[in-house]
Amino acid sequence: MKSTRYRLVNILTLSVICISISLSGEEAESEYDCASAEQYYQRALSHPNENNFRRSFNYKQLLKAAECSAKQGNASRAISQYQFIVELDNNTAGAWSELVFLQMQQVVATLKGLISNSPPRTEQERAIFSQMMSLVEAYGEPNSKENQQTKQDSGNPIILDNTENLWQTITRNLTWIEQNEIPDTEAEIQHYLSDPNYFDTIGKRADRFLGFIISEIRSRDLPIELALVPIVESSLDSRAISPQRAAGLWQIMPATARQYGLTKNRWYDERFDIRISTELALKHFQALNEEFDGNWLLTLAAYNSGSARMQKLLSEDNINNNKWMEVIPNETHQYITRIFALSSILVNPQKFGVKLPQINPLDAFVRVQTNGRIELPLAARLADMKLSTLRSYNPGYLRWAIPRRGYQELLMPPEKADLFTSILSELPQEKRMSGETYEVAYGDSMSKIADKLEVKVSELRSINNVRRNMIKAGEKLLIPGTSYQPD
């Protein structure tokens, strides 16, 4: 009986020794590949308590497995692996800091998701978000040369730096101009330089929208060059309409809007909505890029000219020989060339004598719920904003008030949101829509109506958001000066 017990003890001892040798597995190589590191982690995970001498674990292998998971984008698995290492030995170099950093990234990712749906509106909420971002920046990225090289070489999403000008965020991530030479780029550079005020105008508009657009592009891991598309399409004019009836920042055609099920009626047009149009445009770019086998220049051409038209023009021969630029419409060729012209100017503005205006890297608007209808001129006064400025943030509203059904919210600068919300909360419902209206009759024109009401035509157009003479019998126009006047 005693000898049997000794034999069992010897067998168990040998088993523990074998497991220990297997797990320590000291190799002559100082580097491990991801596959072998993952296999080692699985073996260690199966026998975490069978080794009384935990320092005999090969921590380099375990750290490599966690590092590989992080690089592959599997943050949850990397966190589990770093937690396992810390539980084995809390003094393992790098494991604890990597664990905290990854957990902080998950917290901030969750926070950003909440903010995209319900942005911070008060100073306190914005301060909390700023502190969270500062914590992540404080932990920083891993400092090894290998990780720094990986960061430079990989196509990781762009992280907006609060201290960085948005133009710098774009230029340091441009890649197309390094990989392609597009004929006639120089001519389009001169086109942009011919207007000395062009970049000042773009800068004022970009301050409102570009941070949001870049954030959306970053969240989808798309090329940063797409941030230049609304500059080429609409000069960042959120209310732009083309002769072909394309609308908004991204100049979305009616057919594309129908394809994606966007709402368009007399009161609201989602093609103008800054958030919805950006989401649709990027979704459309992703679909086109998949259709054209990942070729972003063909994708760009298809966005401008239409997918069906491009498919008819292209052949396997002109794609393989890169001659497709010779067969596309002149307008589409110019469209692509202007993206490259803008890229060239932004990369080296000093060379072209351009001074780029500073642009706020943070989103320049927040969403505020109105909880019911309100006249837009009144909303502008409550927020201490010009009506034209409020409309530029909310170009989807086509008339003089928020519609009875559907969207009942406004976008506005963060510094205006608190003022608007506090005053609106005390405003009686009956005063939100108290303005007098005029019903358009057959044969009416804006000038005739203005004469009847003894108001300026320009004021009548502005308050009712009427372009040219686009009115129809039966619709109602808000009469200037009749809305509730807050103290």
Q: Which helix (H) or strand (E) holds 438?
A: strand 437-439
**Angle at the Cα of 281 (from 276 to 287), degrees rounded to 5?**
125
- Burial class for 397, CB neighbours closer than 10 Å (0-12, 13-18, 19+): buried
- pLDDT of 71 higher than 80: no
**Count of beta carbons in the 10 Å neighbourhood of residue 232:** 21
CA–CA distance, 257 with 261 (Å, rounded to integer): 6
Query: Are the C-beta atoms of residues 467 and 421 closer than 8 Å to each other?
Result: no
3-state SS track over 389-443: HHHHHCCCECCCECCCCCCCEEEECHHHHHHHHHHHHCCCHHHHCCCCEEECCCC
3 state SS of 160: coil
Q: What's the rounded mean pLDDT across residues 98-126?
A: 59
- The answer to whether 212 touches 161, Cβ cutoff 8 Å, is no
| pLDDT at position 2 over 80 | no
Please give the Cα distance from 157 to 159 (Å, whole number): 6
Residue predicted with more confidence, 176 or 358: 176
Q: Is 174 in contact with 346 (CB distance < 8 Å)?
A: yes
pLDDT per residue over 449-474, tens digit each?
Answer: 888 888 888 888 888 888 767 788 88
Architecture of domain 21-152 in this structure: Alpha Horseshoe (1.25)
We find that the CATH architecture of domain 366-478 is Roll (3.10)
Backbone angles phi, psi at 477, to 5 degrees: -110, 140
pLDDT at 107: 66
Domain ranges of the chain: 21-152, 167-352, 366-478
Using one digit for the tens of pLDDT, what is the confidence trace for 366-422?
Answer: 899 998 889 999 999 999 999 999 999 999 999 888 887 777 899 999 889 999 999
Annotation marks residue 225 as catalytic:
no
Residue identified by tokens 């060239």 is 344
Most confident range, picked from 110-124, 147-161, 359-373, 430-444 = 430-444
User: What does the pLDDT look like over 184-231, one tens digit per residue?
Assistant: 899 999 999 999 999 999 988 888 889 899 989 999 999 999 999 999
The catalytic residue among 225, 233, 270, 375 is 233
- Comparing 12-26, 242-256, 345-359, 417-431, which segment has the lowest mean pLDDT? 12-26
Overall fold of domain 167-352: Lysozyme (1.10.530)
What is the pTM (predicted TM-score) of this model? 0.64
DSSP 357: P
Cβ contact 87:45 at 8 Å: no
